[in-house]
Structure formats: C-alpha cells, structure tokens
C-alpha cells in the first residue's frame, strides 16, 4: 500500500440520463485526476453490471433492466496506460428491496446520483497486468 496525501474533495451530482461510469470517467479525465476515491448514492434507470469469472479470467456482463436505487457506489481512480481510469462496484435495490450488485459497466443510466470524490497526491498507482488473476492491478510493494 502507498501513503497518499489528500488534495481536494468534490461533492456533486451527475446528470439525469447520463451513463454512470462514463460521467465519472469524464469528470476524472477533464480534471486529470490521477488518484482518487469515489462514493455515491442515488438511483438508476437500468444497470449493466459485470461479474469477473475467476476461472476464465473474463468479465461476464448482464443487464438489470429496471429502475433501481443505488444503495452504494464505491470506486477508485488511478492510471491505466497513463490515463485516468475508474474502477467502481455498485450495490442496487429494486422496488421490493432486493439487492443486486457487481462491477459497474457502461450502460448504467443515471436517474439521480450524488457523489463525493476525494483526490490524492502521492505516489501514482499504475495498473498493470497481473498474470495470477488476469486483472489489471496496482503494484503490491509498500511505500
């Protein structure tokens, strides 16, 4: 793990009808945020989620095609190929309160979403291919 230094905090909301993952990514790219942590709540018109198959090392994507509350979005921002990259997971609930979740994929449409985005200075965390998991992960070495 790396010791990082808080730089700025932003609180705001996303546009109705926007793509949840793309809106967050867009903010991070416009502001060139290289290291950050994001939390959010709200609602979506529909969700597209990923589940990482730990055997095939491939994401399996699926859609939950109904309005859902976002009971929690958590994600981070770091560098992949020298560009700000957002990795987020989301928990959702339907009208009966049943909860769903997974890796947030493009295709999740915002109804309303309020977020906090903390930005850090410090040693950059660059994602690199990890053979064991097949994922693009941060280095392990302590700082």
Q: Name residue, tokens 């990259």.
A: 85
Q: Write phi, then psi, for 71 (nearest 5 degrees).
A: -85, -15
| Per rule CB under 8 A, count of chain residues that contact a copy of itself | 73
Among 22, 29, 107, 138, binds a copy of itself (CB under 8 A): 138
- Taking CB under 8 A as the criterion, which residues in 62-121 touch a copy of itself? 62, 64, 67, 69-72, 74-76, 87-103, 111-112, 114-117, 120
Cα gap 95→101, rounded to integer Å: 15
Residue 82 CB, shortest distance to a copy of itself, in Å, is 18
Its sign, for the CA torsion 100, 56, 84, 25, is negative
- Taking CB under 8 A as the criterion, which residues in 34-73 touch a copy of itself? 35, 37, 39-43, 45, 49, 51-54, 60, 62, 64, 67, 69-72
Question: Helix, strand or coil for residue 22?
Answer: helix
């Amino acid at each position: 793990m790396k010791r990082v230094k808080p730089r700025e905090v932003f609180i705001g909301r996303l546009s109705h009808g926007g793509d949840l993952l793309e809106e967050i990514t867009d903010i991070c790219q416009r502001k060139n945020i290289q290291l950050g942590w994001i939390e959010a709540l709200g609602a979506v018109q529909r969700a597209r989620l990923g589940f990482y198959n730990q055997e095939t090392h491939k994401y399996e994507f699926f859609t939950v095609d109904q309005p859902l509350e976002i009971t929690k979005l958590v994600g981070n921002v770091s560098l992949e190929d020298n560009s700000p990259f957002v990795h987020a997971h989301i928990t959702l609930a339907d009208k009966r309160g049943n909860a769903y979740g997974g890796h947030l994929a493009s295709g999740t449409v915002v109804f309303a979403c309020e977020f906090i985005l903390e930005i850090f200075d410090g040693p950059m965390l660059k994602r690199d291919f990890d053979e064991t998991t097949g994922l693009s992960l941060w280095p392990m070495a302590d700082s």
